[in-house]
Amino acid sequence: MAEKKEKSKKKRPTAEKRMIQNEKSRQRNKAFKSQIRTGIRRFEASLSSGDKAQLNQSLSSVYSLVDKAVKLGIYKINKASRIKSRLTAKAASSKS
Which amino acid is it at 45? A
Least confident of 5-14, 23-32, 61-70, 87-96: 5-14
Pick the residue with more confidence: 11 or 7?
Answer: 11
* In the predicted structure, residue 88 carries a pLDDT above the cut 60: yes
CA dist list (Å): 22 to 9, 12, 17, 28, 96? 21, 15, 9, 10, 46
Residue extents of the structural domains in the chain: 52-96
Q: What is the pLDDT of residue 57?
A: 95
Q: What is the pLDDT of residue 10?
A: 81
Residue/partner pairs of 64-73 with CB below 8 Å, 24 or more apart: 65/32, 65/35, 65/36, 65/39, 66/36, 68/32, 69/32, 69/33, 69/36, 72/32
Q: How many angstroms separate the CA atoms of 55 and 81, rounded?
A: 19
pLDDT digits (tens, 9 = 90+) for 28-87: 999 999 999 999 999 999 999 888 899 999 999 999 999 999 999 999 999 999 999 999
Q: How many angstroms separate the CA atoms of 74 and 32, rounded?
A: 8
